Amino acid sequence: MNRLRVLPCLVLSLMVATPGAFAQTVAPAQPWKSIPVPPLHEFKPEQPTHFTLANGVEVFLEEDHELPFISGFVRVRGGSRDVPADKVGLASIYGETWRTSGTAKESGDALDDSLAAKAATIETASGAAATELSWSSFAADFDSVFASAMDLLLHPVFQQAKLDLARRSAITGILRRNDDAGEIAQREAVGIAYGKTNPYGREEEIATVSAVKLDDLSAWHDRTVVGSNIIVGVIGDFDSKAMEQKLRAAFAKIPQGTKLVTAPMEFKQPTPGIYFANKSDVDQSNVYMVGLGTEEDNPDFYALSVMNEVFSGGFGSRVVQQVRTKLGLAYEVGGSFGAAYDHPGLFAVGLGTKSSSTVAASRATLDEIAGLRTRPPTEAELRRAKDDLLNSFIFRYDSPEKVLNEQVVLAVYGYPADFLERYRTGVEKVTSADVARVAQKYVQPEKLAIVVVGNTPEIDPPLSGLGKVTTLDISIPGAPKDDGSGPPQQ
């Protein structure tokens, strides 16, 4: 305690006696700047065992003996983008009803009980491009759990009661989709960017969900669950040769069928302008600026990735530093020139701000987007962006399971198996001139659609200061009136 009392006096006396010398003596050290940073190791993930059956089923196997578990999945081509426009929601309802219905041998409820006794799981789910059946269990229980999974894959019995439950759940979600301002802004931005009738921009509605019948589920299953549509992945504590024999025996019986081919889609840039949805119960604005992005097989993908990092890669990025930190106009802001595997991703920049800052925050963000065209990255920005990308990239594939999943995705979309290994080389080669070139080629802020969800009276100055404003109709077709009648009957 005595030392704590004396030390401030000693420091004070030193400062009074020799202020200049003291300042030099105790200048803050920066030892982190002298820490050597070793070069990244070569990225060469171990490739899973891969084989294809005569009926078109592709199989990927990855041994992992760290724990006594085995998990796997059957990925089936065909998702929400492939269903008819008058039955949007079919894929998600199918993905839910498939598992909850079960099979003639074992209902979904009975399956729940048997799996719980083994601490195992079997699940089904649907996405934009595929439906997936997955399972997980102790290695000792693999045979029985896998048998149940294959029974569900090959012999589902869709039940009306489970379909009704899935439809009610979907309709409940539709009726609540305007509860959150941020979700409204994101949903409307995607719809405007892709187009409301494009499979990537359309939405489930009460009418389309209600149109899904039991026969639709069976027909969808029969259409998609064929050998040429299936990719299987299994990882865990097993011997690959023995597992290969089991999988060959299980999947060889599936007919080859016809591979599902997604219908051609039209993609065009959205009509630029301001699109506004009023939400009277909020005191802030959610803003999304959107246009079409690119695909991952674009040769400019690596330069665009570095550009994204310079623009919005964390707290040190341009848009965060300027709009959030320096100007204090947004509590969150970020975005990227997005890329997808087989269709254009989105160039999307989103921000959240108080109502009175809506116009100022939007202008400041647009200025930073435009700055990508006029201000090539400095050497420091380029180095930070590339380091961040490469140092974080490895953590996306730092386990056998992640590598297996990515290899399956690459196979689904027809990408080369070494696509991951090319990423590091591609990013390392990017120069400041490359970033400037792709910014000039792809970044066009004047062509972006700007979606704003906020409270009209509180947005001052008004949005008209940004351009012509189009009011969005976010009402829900078929929603019951607020008369206590409840959701529509099925």
Per-residue pLDDT at 268 exceeds 80: yes
Same CATH topology for 49-251 and 273-471?
yes
Q: Name residue 121's amino acid.
A: T
> Domain residues of the chain, as ranges?
49-251, 273-471
* The pLDDT of residue 394: 80
* The pLDDT of residue 399: 86
Contact 265, 343 (CB under 8 A): yes
Here the tokens at position 356 are 């009175």
State the average pLDDT over residues 439-461.
97
* The pLDDT of residue 12: 33
Per-residue pLDDT at 432 exceeds 60: yes
Per DSSP, the three-state class of 54 is: coil
Which CATH fold topology does 273-471 show?
Answer: Cytochrome Bc1 Complex; Chain A, domain 1 (3.30.830)
Contact 407, 47 (CB under 8 A): yes
Reported as a single tens digit per residue, the pLDDT across 377-420 is: 999 999 999 999 998 888 888 888 988 999 999 988 989 988 88
Bridge-partner residues for 69, per DSSP? 138
* The pLDDT of residue 27: 62
Reported as a single tens digit per residue, the pLDDT across 270-299 is: 999 999 999 999 999 999 999 999 999 999
What is the C-alpha separation between 49 and 104, in angstroms, rounded? 34
Here the tokens at position 89 are 């929601």
- pTM of this prediction exceeds 0.75: yes
Reported as a single tens digit per residue, the pLDDT across 208-255 is: 999 999 999 999 999 999 999 999 999 999 999 999 999 999 999 999
Where are the strands (E) in 324-472, listed by range? 332-340, 344-354, 449-454, 469-471
Domain 49-251 matching CATH 3.30.830.10: the answer reads yes
Cα-Cα-Cα-Cα dihedral of 233, 239, 244, 246, to 10°?
-100
